Amino acid sequence: MHQAQEHDRVLLISPDRKQYIISLQRGMRFHTHKGIVDHDDLIGQPLGREIRTHLNHSFMVLRPSLHDILMNVKRVSQIIYPKEIGVILLKLDVSSGRRVIEAGTGSGALTIALANAVRPAGKVYSYELREEMLRIARENVDTAGLSDYVSFHHSDIADGFEQSEVDALFLDVREPWCYLDRVCPVLADGGFFGALVPTTNQVSDLLAGMTRYPLTGVDVMEVLIRRYKPVPQRLRPRDVMVGHTGYLVFARKISKMLLDPRREKRRGSRNRVRI
Amino acid sequence: MHQAQEHDRVLLISPDRKQYIISLQRGMRFHTHKGIVDHDDLIGQPLGREIRTHLNHSFMVLRPSLHDILMNVKRVSQIIYPKEIGVILLKLDVSSGRRVIEAGTGSGALTIALANAVRPAGKVYSYELREEMLRIARENVDTAGLSDYVSFHHSDIADGFEQSEVDALFLDVREPWCYLDRVCPVLADGGFFGALVPTTNQVSDLLAGMTRYPLTGVDVMEVLIRRYKPVPQRLRPRDVMVGHTGYLVFARKISKMLLDPRREKRRGSRNRVRI
Amino acid sequence: MHQAQEHDRVLLISPDRKQYIISLQRGMRFHTHKGIVDHDDLIGQPLGREIRTHLNHSFMVLRPSLHDILMNVKRVSQIIYPKEIGVILLKLDVSSGRRVIEAGTGSGALTIALANAVRPAGKVYSYELREEMLRIARENVDTAGLSDYVSFHHSDIADGFEQSEVDALFLDVREPWCYLDRVCPVLADGGFFGALVPTTNQVSDLLAGMTRYPLTGVDVMEVLIRRYKPVPQRLRPRDVMVGHTGYLVFARKISKMLLDPRREKRRGSRNRVRI
Amino acid sequence: MHQAQEHDRVLLISPDRKQYIISLQRGMRFHTHKGIVDHDDLIGQPLGREIRTHLNHSFMVLRPSLHDILMNVKRVSQIIYPKEIGVILLKLDVSSGRRVIEAGTGSGALTIALANAVRPAGKVYSYELREEMLRIARENVDTAGLSDYVSFHHSDIADGFEQSEVDALFLDVREPWCYLDRVCPVLADGGFFGALVPTTNQVSDLLAGMTRYPLTGVDVMEVLIRRYKPVPQRLRPRDVMVGHTGYLVFARKISKMLLDPRREKRRGSRNRVRI
């Protein structure tokens, strides 16, 4: 049975489905539109249950899941959403023990998901040029209790990455094709490359750029989630859905030196790398 | 640099994109439609590169990713696909150290993904009634090198689960609503429930059944992946896409005893649980 | 060159893309948030051009298309949208000269599209029980200038339809399966049946009901439109899309008397009609 | 009651759902994998019923709908599909009496749909450079009984169109942006422009080209149809769906002379026309 301790973060869900993640501190009170919750009523108590505010409204108190945390990070930029994160983790083969680079850090949503996945032996190296962004991301990762698994770098990736032989590398930057000469040398042979871009023009530019590098198994996709109203007798999709967040591009680095130069040339002229 | 050892499993990709996962054994030869590959030419050599068959065709040799493994398991039943698995792992909050039940095991694709995610400290408890299925699944999990993280149970879940206080439980069975009375007692308060069903009728039946249990935050969805042909000058989606695999239903268990009985009754009559 | 006449309806589009359809009358003025337009400045003038309001804002003046009219009907109920209407017209084979029944009339959007398609020799018979709804629909059809092609019936379709041997019949009612015994007798052999229902439960109920009637070639579908932001250098789908309007069910009536009774029985037990 | 006459075209549907459209001729026999059908058994008989082959297999005999005809045209090129055609007819406001240009003709599927929609008073002007293609299209349009409503032009649209003041114009060519200087002069003010292109690169090129012309209300979209297996107790989408056919781009021509030149310039620099 999970019991809430002081400094633990808990998820509160109001009767009208508003979500709040708070950090428990003795003596503190949390004020909501449905009444007040005393932190002291939560500390030492089991999670996964309902409590009452002083106005007698019922709130759920839960341990926040990774999904809850991702949807509640403090945002200073467009975050990468769980629907893409699930696919990114699988396509980059991110799991316990892996070493992964990402750039830019942004608000840190993907950073948190990567850090959670490489625990306990792996590491995430996260690069961000904008100082303010980095500050928020650090705060978000810290709040998620995952700081031990992330190393932040305040630098321009045009100057390169400090690591080598990493298992995977993900770019969430405006012009990912500009950094492929920095990406390939730090990826281990067989390592996984991924990028997220919002427009088709960027997909074309990235794919064109990738043909000049030893990247294979190129996979371009969109992830669409269609949610349903959970009413058994009147089951139907929700009226409105997210129409677009971005295009995902994945590939895998192979050892360049063993490639036949003539074949490489031919492939370049076909403008895509195909295994 | 990853080097292949005897008994390692490696992924071979042919020039026409056929994929093979083989287990390396000294003295063995792998016969393909594009020529022969000697295992001895791979053992002790780095991965993430190209090799030549005796017919001089070029094959990629790579460490298989979890995604590769999932797409290449030996199948005796419809498997759960990576597009759903990514979402399942996130929505069930499966990560290092978690204890998770799944039923039925089927071919073991989800088992492998769960086992990989709970490493090194967690455990997957996988239930399957059909003996032949269980045998194949064990073989698939073993081949994936994840047997240490899975405990198989050859029993009927109508008789209940042996574990208690598990973090998450996933049902991939024909009539998941029949087992909710077994599911809820073994889930920890705040634990995550999920199910995959192929038809809308099953979604309705499951949702109707769930209203009688302390399950909250009900979320019903489909995951659609739209793949593109990776040609920079002629970017377009592939002509054909997977139109359907299944509907995912998720919820979270809350402690029943703290619920207001009158409110519970009202919710039942509305046929859905809403926070 | 189209010139606007008095009593013509014209489409005005404001700089911020608000659309207004107005009926021209000498001496009238049209007040908008961007200034005033004098009807007299439009009458006798060509359409398909820009005009200026008294505040010097530029409005487009166009002949309203059927699509414009459909999106601007006065609504007292959920209308059937153009994305479904295009498919309905094709699947019901509605074209010049056809006789078509629809029920219920609703706000009359589909009525207008059907009437426009059967011109000049065909006829639409539209049934509606709710008097207020019928009044609005008549007004909408009249405003669209299509009254000559529509015959309205203020009656309950449970009492049957007055026509016979119609080419097509479309139901937009809550329980279309309740009226199949009324539908089949009035459809010509080979005639087209269609229905729109919002939930999967209704689709199941309708399909189950249809198995008892000589309806063949059953086709169930959803129509999804994905719109893009029309920016050449940053092409991408719009952030939000319509996730659901309804499910369309189509079939074709065949002559019952020539069916082999034994085969009919077998089909019933399989719960679907398959050719 | 529709009765089949000699020279009528009828749709035959086999028990395994194969479709054949045949033209009835006295004394002829139609050979299928399920047995022989005598044309004489169909002539003078009602449609919309079942018949038996000499092997006692049951075939449906129906009047072919426009949809049936479109799906059964003789193809020498990728045709435009009904899911797009429904939207094209609505967005181009094609109905009885309209004058419409299309290029290229291709196999004539869209030609047939346009001709059917403009009946009886309108006309379709169809341009095609490839002689063989034009021959097949003529045959398809003739077979559909719509030759009276189509005027074919064997010429290069780079040399311009012979008509003027047409209500709508649709381009299904590889580089539609190359012909906009020919398109705009022949469209009536307020006339509708549309194009179908398969790749995102073409959408970008077309949108960029359109900014230099008085085209307004630009609308870019994809149409996705999701079909369901029509089984009431096991309702679910089909496993495989069409992932892509093309992108549709629509706009409306406005009178150029009345545009404020300064404003026109500004809009050009924003690379898109917005009303």
Task: Please check the confidence at residue A14 and state whether its pLDDT lies above 80.
Answer: yes
| Mean predicted confidence (pLDDT) in C116-139 | 96
CATH placement of domain C68-227+236-269: 3.40.50.150
What is the rounded CA–CA span in Å between residue B218 and residue B254? 12
Q: C199 and A236 in contact by Cβ < 8 A?
A: yes
Closest by CA to A167, choosing from B13, B117, B65, is: B65
Closest chain A residue to B85 measured between Cα atoms? A86
Mean pLDDT of B91-115: 97
Scanning every residue of chain B, which has its alpha carbon at the shortest distance from the alpha carbon of C205?
B201
Contact D204/A200, CB-based, under 8 Å? yes
Class of domain D9-64: alpha beta
Q: Which of B11, B17, B65, B69 best probes binding to A when mutated, by most A CB atoms within 10 angstroms? A: B65
Which candidate in C116, C216, C221 is best for mutational testing of the D interface (most D CBs within 10 A)? C221
Per-residue pLDDT, averaged over B214-224, amounts to: 95
> For B227, which residue in chain D has the nearest alpha carbon?
D243
What is the per-residue pLDDT across B60-94, written as a single tens digit (0 to 9) for each?
Answer: 999 999 999 999 899 888 889 999 999 999 999 99
Cβ of A48 within 8 Å of Cβ of B231? The answer is: no
Of C233, C234, C242, which is closest to A240 when you measure between CB atoms? Answer: C242
Would you place residue A109 in the very low, low, confident or very high pLDDT band (cuts 50, 70, 90)?
very high
**Chain B closest-CA separation from residue A117 CA (Å):** 7
How do beta strands A215-229 and A247-253 pair? antiparallel
Q: How far is CA C205 from CA A210, B203, D230, D240, in A?
A: 52, 15, 11, 24
d(CA C243, CA B10): 42
**Which chains touch D (3+ CB pairs under 8 A)?**
A, B, C
Q: Which residues of C touch D79 (CB under 8 A)?
A: none
Q: Determine the angle formed by the axes of helices D109-118 and D131-143, rounding to 10 degrees.
A: 40
- How far apart are the two ends of chain D, measured CA to CA in Å? 50
pLDDT of residue B102: 98
Could you give phi then psi for residue D133, rounded to 5 degrees? -60, -45
If you count residue pairs, one on B and one on C, with CB atoms under 8 Å apart, how many are there? 9
Q: How large a percentage of chain C has pLDDT more than 90?
A: 80
If DSSP codes are grouped into helix, strand and coil, which group holds residue D4? coil
| Mean pLDDT over each residue of chain A, to the nearest integer | 90
Q: Mark yes or no for CB contact D87/C91 under 8 Å.
A: no
Model confidence, pTM: 0.92
pLDDT-derived band at B258 (thresholds 50, 70, 90) equals: very low
Q: Any idea where the domains of chain B sit in the sequence?
A: 9-64, 68-269
Contact C204 B200 (CB under 8 A): yes
pLDDT tens sequence across A25-71: 999 999 999 999 999 999 999 998 889 999 999 999 999 999 999 99
- Sort out which chain A residues have CB atoms less than 8 A from D200's CB and list them: 200-201, 203-204
Do D134 and D152 contact (CB within 8 A), yes or no? Answer: yes
Residue B194 pLDDT exceeds 50: yes
Per the CB < 8 A criterion, the answer to whether D70 and D109 are in contact is yes
For range B3-23, the mean pLDDT: 89
Query: Considering only alpha carbons, which residue of chain A is nearest residue B233?
Result: A204
- Please give, rounded to a whole number of angstroms, the shortest distance from the CA of B265 to a CA of chain C: 24
Which tokens go with A211?
């043909």
Confidence band (pLDDT; 50, 70, 90) for C256? low
Across the interface, whether the CB atoms of D275 and C221 are under 8 A apart is answered no
Q: Answer whether C238 sits within 8 Å of A227, measured CB to CB.
A: no
Q: Which two tokens stand for residue C208?
A: 């189950």
Angle among Cα D76, D80, D82 to the nearest 5 degrees reads: 125
A187-191, B96-100, B263-267: which has the minimum mean pLDDT? B263-267
Residues of B with Cβ-Cβ distance to C224 under 8 angstroms:
none
Chain D residues within an 8 Å CB radius of B226: 243
**Interval D99-132: pLDDT, tens:** 999 999 999 999 999 999 999 999 999 999 999 9
Interface contact C241-A243, CB threshold 8 A: yes
pLDDT at B76: 85
CA distance C173 to chain B (A): 21
pLDDT over threshold 90, residue A272 = no
Chain C neighbours, 3+ Cβ pairs < 8 A: A, B, D
CB contacts, 8 Å: B244 with chain D: 236-239, 241
Q: Is there a contact between B204 and C201 if contact means CB atoms under 8 Å apart?
A: yes
Reading chain D (275 residues) residue by residue, the pLDDT tens digits are 578 999 999 999 888 888 899 999 999 999 999 999 999 999 999 998 889 999 999 999 999 999 999 998 999 888 899 999 999 999 999 999 999 999 999 999 999 999 999 999 999 999 999 999 999 999 999 999 999 999 999 999 999 999 999 999 999 999 999 999 999 999 999 999 999 999 999 999 999 999 999 999 999 999 999 999 999 999 999 999 999 999 999 999 998 644 443 443 443 333 333 32
Q: How far is B228 from chain D (nearest CA, A)?
A: 9
> Per the CB < 8 Å rule, is C83 touching D87?
yes
- Measured between beta carbons, which residues in chain A are less than 8 angstroms from residue B217? 13, 60
Rounded to whole angstroms, how far apart are CA atoms A237 and D226? 13
* Interface test mutation site (partner D, options A197, A199, A200, max chain D beta carbons within 10 A): A200
Task: DSSP for B43-105, please give it.
Answer: TTSBSSEEEE-TT--EEEEEPPPHHHHHHTS--SSPPPPHHHHHHHHHHTT--TT-EEEEE--
User: Could B235 and D199 be called an inter-chain contact, meaning their C-beta atoms sit closer than 8 Å?
Assistant: yes
Contact residues on chain D for A203, CB-CB shorter than 8 A: 200
Q: In one letter, which amino acid is D203?
A: V
Q: Are C241 and C223 in contact, with CB atoms under 8 Å apart?
A: no
Q: What is the pLDDT of residue D266?
A: 40
Q: For the domain with range D68-269, which CATH number is right: 3.40.50.150, 3.40.1360.10, 3.40.50.1110, 3.40.50.300?
A: 3.40.50.150
Closest approach of D211 to chain C, Cα-based (Å): 10
